[in-house]
């Protein structure tokens, strides 16, 4: 996409955001901003297509970084109160039963 296309896209998507906040009908908004209604409809379609793909209208996709360290545990028991019992090697079922029957 050329830079002029990207700039126009950003401008139109920004206008759509302004329209959403305005409380006006699309026709009223277009008349106020001197935008052809058909042109606004074209950009609304583009905007909706990107939104339905889960993309930010600016072309960015949100990324969530999980900073929790990776566990090398073979097994974890998580109790309802949030306490954890972590095993770094396999354990016998009878051992777990003995631990849990205190």
Q: What is d(CA 93, CA 91) in angstroms, rounded to the nearest whole number?
A: 7
b or e along 17-31 (b: 16 or more beta carbons within 10 Å of the residue's beta carbon)?
Answer: eebeeeeeeeeebbe
- In the block, tokens 């209604």 appear at 37
CB atoms within 10 A of CB 81: 5
Q: What is d(CA 49, CA 102) in angstroms, rounded to the nearest whole number?
A: 58
Q: Which residues lie closer than 8 Å to 61 by C-beta, 6 or more apart?
A: 54, 55
Residues 44-83: pLDDT tens digits? Answer: 998 888 776 655 555 555 666 666 666 666 777 777 777 8
Helices (H), 24-65: 26-33, 37-52
Residues 15-36: pLDDT tens digits? Answer: 998 999 999 999 999 999 999 9
Q: Report domain extents, the chain.
A: 3-52
Q: What is d(CA 17, CA 13) in angstroms, rounded to the nearest whole number?
A: 6
């Amino acid at each position: 996409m050329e830079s002029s296309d990207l700039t126009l896209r950003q401008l139109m998507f920004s206008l759509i955001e302004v329209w959403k906040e305005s409380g006006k009908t699309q026709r009223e908004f277009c008349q106020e901003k001197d935008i052809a209604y058909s042109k606004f409809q074209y950009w609304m379609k583009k905007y909706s297509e990107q939104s339905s793909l889960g993309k930010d209208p600016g072309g960015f996709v949100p990324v969530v970084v999980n900073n929790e360290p990776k566990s090398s545990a073979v097994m974890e028991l998580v109790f309802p109160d949030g306490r954890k019992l972590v095993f770094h090697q396999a354990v016998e079922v009878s051992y777990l039963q003995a631990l849990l029957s205190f």
